[in-house]
Amino acid sequence: MMRSSEDIYTLLEEVKDPEIPVLSLVDLGVITNVSVENNQVNIEMTPTFVGCPALDMMKQDIKDVLAKNGMNHVSISVSFKEPWTSDKISEKGRKALKQFGLAPPPVGKNLFSDIDVLEHAACPRCGGSNTSLKNPFGPTLCRSIHYCEDCREAFEQFKPL
């Protein structure tokens, strides 16, 4: 059966970020192109952070899901032509992050002309911005650590990039 690239995108919804199991790679925005020629599936992807250690796992998970659906000729290339930024996370992905307890990154802001973006991340619990940045580095490369003064609890944000 011939599959279209749309079919592949739908199947890739099943492949989740290994570190954030509620977020698909499609919603994360790391899949930059899918093409199908005869039986050959070509996927282009780009990492969130250059040193992301989950990249190989993501590639394997993509192959596993496509193999399960009968596609065994899959080639995946990694490219920086269209570099990932946090604005590539879909609206659905942002909601999933918030439900997971991770503050989604602010959209469309130039992080370093506006340091408040980092200093006052919106708390994923109460939605308030009475928060402070504890550490621009967190448990994974893509997360920072914050504290909500109202909830009196720490939280993490998916870093704007």
Partner 1 sequence: MNDLAIKELLYKMADDQLILGHRNSEWTGFGPLLEEDIAFSSMAQDKVGQSYALYTILHSLGEQEPDTVAFTRNAEQFHNSIFTELPNGEYDFSLIRHFLYDTAEIMRFDMLTESSFQPLAELAVKVRAELRYHTLHANTWVKQLGSATEESVARLQKSLEHALPYALGMFEESPYEKELIETGVFAGEKKLQEKWLVKISAIINETRLQLPDLSTLQPVSGGRIGKHSEHLQPLLNEMSEVFRIDPTAEW
Q: How big is the CA angle at 12 (ends 34 and 161), to the nearest 5 degrees?
A: 80
Based on CB atoms, which residue is closest to partner 1, 141 or 151? 141
Based on CB atoms, which residue is closest to partner 1, 81 or 152? 81
Based on CB atoms, which residue is closest to partner 1, 83 or 127? 83
Looking at 13-70, list the stretches that DSSP marks H as alpha helix, in order from N- to C-terminal side.
Answer: 25-28, 55-68
The residues binding partner 1 (CB under 8 A) are 49-53, 79-81, 83-85, 111-112, 118, 134-139, 141, 145, 159, 161
Report how far residue 128's alpha carbon sits from residue 41's, in angstroms, rounded to the nearest whole number: 44
Do residues 149 and 134 touch, judged by C-beta distance below 8 A?
A: no
